[in-house]
Amino acid sequence: MEQSQWIDVVEDKFKYQLDHFVIPGHYKDDVESILIPHGLIMDRIAKLAQIITSEYDSERIVVCCVLKGGHQFFSDLVNYMKKALNKQGKTLPMTLDFIRVKSYENDKSTGKVHVSMSEKELQELKGKNLLLVEDIIDTGNTMKKLLETLDKYEPKSVKVASLLLKKTPLSCGYVPDYVGFAVPDLFVVGYCLDYNDIFRDLDHICAISEVGKSKYAA
């Protein structure tokens, strides 16, 4: 995918103000700004679904959700993929799977990556077409490590769809096959992206505030 094919989000505190959209009362002091309103997220996912479905033939794919942050994106993406396939009059059988990967505590990478699949589950990936669905690529280390692990089990193909790609100088250079938005180098929450398991119930993607960071620190 060409880099220009993702939407570049720039930090602009005055573009979408907190009172332009519905923010749950329990988070009103905990977010600094709205970066991507929920409606825009959904419209972009519809387009990603159209692109992804057009690039596969009719061989079964395993769409694998990277938990927990990728859960909402996964569910909306799969729904839009089904709609896009219907529109295209195309069949693409999909198996849905889940993998849990954890690398962050508070807003810092721990440097270690835990992958939660049993040896048997990993061996079953042999010869399969995998589409990994992730919420955000920051340094890229988590995805690089996950891809190295999965590669040992010889899947037929592996592609990665990430809703967000962070513009950070700490990037290891990894770029996913499909990206929704490139976001500024801030810790973002909402649309299932969490800070110590908080903010998954916020619909918009927002920058966390200092108040939020200290209120929900581990």
**Residue with Cβ nearer ligand 5GP (97 or 124):** 97
The β-bridge relationship of strands 188-189 and 94-105 is: unpaired
Residues forming the active site: 138
Of 25-33, 76-84, 118-126, 130-138, the segment contacting ligand 5GP by CB under 6 A is: 130-138
Pick between residue 161 and residue 193 the one whose CB is nearest to ligand 5GP.
193
Measured from the CB of residue 127, what is the shortest distance to ligand 5GP in angstroms? 26
Interface residue with ligand 5GP, options 33, 53, 129, 142 (CB under 6 A): 142
Which helix H or strand E contains 96, and what residues bound it? strand 94-105
Residue closer to ligand 5GP, measured from CB, 40 or 164: 164
Closest CA to 145 of 109, 198, 197, 119: 109
Which residue, chain included where needed, has tokens 């040896």? 119
Q: No. of H helices and E strands in the chain? A: 5, 10
Q: Could you say whether residue 134 binds ligand 5GP (CB under 6 A)? A: yes
For residue 6, which of 183, 196, 192, 201 has the smallest C-alpha distance?
183
Residue with tokens 């619909």: 203
Binding status of residue 53 toward ligand 5GP by CB under 6 A: no
Q: Which residue in 188, 202, 205, 206 binds ligand 5GP (CB under 6 A)?
A: 188
- Pairwise CA distance, residues 52 & 49, whole Å: 5
Residues that bind ligand 5GP (CB under 6 A): 69, 103-104, 109, 134-142, 166, 187-189, 193-195
